[in-house]
Every structure is written in C-alpha cells, then in structure tokens.
C-alpha cells in the first residue's frame, strides 16, 4: 500500500472497531466529515462497499470484515516492529508523549528536558484528556499522561504522579472563607474544568455547590490564569501551574483552614507493553521526587 492508503486503512479499522464514525472521532483526533471522506476514498480504492447501515450504526459487509481482520493483523505487526526497533535502539525515533496541559508544561516537560539524553529526540504535545487518549490509541504518541485512569482496551494506564489542586485568587482579591462565599464568587474556567472543579469541591467540602458563577472562559488553562491574576475571577487549578513564575507574584493560594487538601493522580497511558518499556521507566525516573506535589505531606 502507498502511505496514504495505509493511513486510510487505519481510519477504516478504527471506525469498524468503534462501531461508527462519531465513536471513532475522539480516538482518531479527526472530525467526522474528515473521517467520512477517508472512508469513501478507501472504499473507492478497494472497489466495493465495506460498510452497511444498521440503524444509526455501521456494520461491516463480508468484504469489510475480511479486510478489517487483514488490516488489524498488519497494524499489529507494525506495532510489534516499532516496539522492537525502539527497544533495540531508542535513538532511532523520538520519544513521543501526549500530555494534559498543566502537568505536562509545568512539571513533566522540565523534568524530561533535564533528564533526557542529549541525543534523544522528544516530541511533546499537549491537549485534553480525550486528545491524549486519541493520540495513544492511534499510535500518534507512544505514551500519554492524563488525569483520569483508562480501562478501555487496548490502552492501559498506571498511576504516575500526584498533583495538588488548589483554589487561587488575585493578590488583592478577598479570600473566600466557606462554601457559601465560594458559591457567590466569580470564576475563570477553561476546557475540561468540570473534572478539576468537581474533584476539588468533592474532596474539600464533600459536595458540589448548588451553582457556580463563571465570568471568563478560555480554551487553555493559562489564559484562565491570566483572568484570575487580573482580578476577574477565582480559579481552581493544579498547584504546579499556580506556582509557576508567570503567576506566583500575582495570585495567592487559598487553603480553607481545617479542610483537607485536594490531591489528584496523574496516569501514564500506553498500548501493549509500552507501560513496561524503558521509556516509561525513564519518565518515572525523570519525575523522581517531583512525582509528589510539595506541601501534600504524602
């Protein structure tokens, strides 16, 4: 197969395994229209229909089933070969890691850049939990780091590190003292903030607020930190981010007296034997003592 054919074959296999285009979209990191285009081109190259409609789902035709099994074997062989080469000589290819933004930028990246061999290439990409999972599932990344465990085969996960989640406000802002005051406080939020905010409220107060005032919302967490530093709203975010040089002089951390700290676990994701690889060990070693956040006492 030519390179483009192999790429479309992988898209076909992912859609068939997921049972539909919409279900495969997050893992492939492609929009449904782009996936639909790839499938049509691939069917044209094969010369016969590979799917048929079954209600809202897609079902493989007999030809599609035969091709699905063949492509699956080919992809498995490619993965085995890639893994063998990386074990024999890790410098043959870059270390490709997909990671969630805050932990990746402010703890993982500095640790890796300080500990990685000088001649080992590194490809580090940042995204949401779903984007990290999609990158690992599709083979675009060798390993992933995210704040949620993954139990869906073929991706596996193991605990990697911890981060403290904190409430922060601008230096000049009033400190919220209890849940009622916090509920009345304006917040700066960011993509996937629901998980972080929900985890913090549940850990610290044992319940979620009845309502939450959102003032500014941004896609990236760094822009939400700028909103907080400008006094436009409080934020709940990883301490690694809040304590970074860009903001440490402009915001302050609020730890409600007598209430528990909120610690979240980061997870390392990989396919097959990747979690037991030398690269996975190197990531754990690079993090070292920084695998536990300062001030948690854990």
- Residues 38-61: tens digit of each pLDDT: 899 898 888 889 998 877 778 899
d(CA 57, CA 67): 19
Q: Residue 117 is encoded by which pair of tokens?
A: 């061999």
What are the structure tokens assigned to 56, written together? 């809202």
CA dihedral 258, 146, 234, 293 (to 10 degrees): 40
| Helix-helix angle 129-138:3-18, to 10 degrees | 120
Distances (CA, A) of 291 to 109, 127, 200, 296: 13, 20, 19, 11
pLDDT for 119 equals: 77
Instruction: Give 177's contacts (C-beta < 8 A, 6+ positions apart).
Output: 256
Would you list the domain boundaries of the chain?
3-86, 92-159+269-291, 163-263
Let me know: does 111 contact 292? Beta carbons within 8 Å.
Answer: no
The one-digit pLDDT tens for each residue of the chain (298 residues) are: 444 478 888 899 989 888 888 888 888 888 888 888 889 989 888 888 999 887 777 889 999 899 998 888 888 878 777 666 666 565 557 889 999 988 999 999 999 998 888 778 889 999 889 899 989 988 889 999 999 888 777 888 999 999 999 999 999 888 887 888 888 899 999 988 999 999 999 999 999 988 889 999 998 899 999 999 999 999 999 999 999 999 989 999 988 778 899 999 999 999 888 888 888 998 999 888 554 555 443 3
Architecture field, domain 92-159+269-291? 3-Layer(aba) Sandwich (3.40)
Share above pLDDT 90 across residues of the chain, in percent, rounded to a whole number: 41
Alpha carbon of 283 to those of 65, 114, 143, 219, 278: distances in Å? 39, 11, 10, 27, 9
Q: State whether CATH 3.40.190.10 applies to domain 163-263.
A: yes
Fold observed for domain 3-86: Arc Repressor Mutant, subunit A (1.10.10)
CATH fold match for the domains 92-159+269-291 and 163-263: yes
Phi, psi of 258 (to 5 degrees): 80, -5
Q: What is the DSSP letter of 19?
A: T
Are the CB atoms for 269 and 144 separated by under 8 Å? yes
């Amino acid at each position: 197969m030519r390179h483009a054919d192999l790429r479309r074959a992988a898209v076909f296999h992912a859609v068939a395994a997921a049972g539909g285009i919409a279900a495969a979209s997050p893992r492939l990191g492609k929009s449904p229209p782009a996936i639909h285009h790839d499938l049509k081109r691939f069917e044209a190259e094969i010369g016969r229909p590979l799917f048929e409609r079954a209600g809202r789902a897609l079902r493989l035709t007999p030809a599609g089933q035969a091709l699905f099994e063949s492509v699956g074997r080919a992809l498995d062989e490619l993965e085995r070969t890639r893994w063998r080469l990386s074990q024999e000589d890790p410098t043959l290819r870059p270390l490709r890691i997909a990671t969630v933004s805050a932990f990746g930028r402010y703890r993982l990246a500095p640790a890796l850049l300080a500990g990685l061999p000088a001649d080992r290439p590194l490809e580090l990409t940042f995204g949401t939990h779903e984007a990290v999972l999609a990158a690992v599932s599709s083979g675009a990344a060798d390993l992933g780091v995210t704040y949620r465990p993954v139990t869906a085969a073929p991706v596996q996960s193991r605990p990697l590190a911890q981060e403290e989640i904190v409430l922060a406000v601008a230096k000049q802002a009033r400190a919220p003292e209890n849940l009622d005051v916090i509920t009345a406080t304006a917040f700066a939020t960011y993509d996937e903030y629901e998980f972080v905010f929900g985890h913090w409220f549940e850990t610290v107060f044992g319940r979620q607020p009845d309502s939450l005032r959102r003032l500014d919302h941004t896609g990236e967490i760094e822009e939400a930190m700028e909103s907080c530093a400008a006094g436009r709203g409080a934020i709940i975010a990883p301490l690694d981010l809040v304590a970074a040089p860009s903001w440490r002089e402009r915001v302050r951390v609020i730890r409600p007296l007598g209430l528990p700290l909120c610690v979240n676990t980061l997870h390392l994701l990989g396919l097959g034997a990747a979690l037991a690889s030398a690269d996975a060990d190197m990531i754990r070693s690079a993090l070292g003592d920084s695998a536990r956040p300062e001030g948690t006492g854990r």
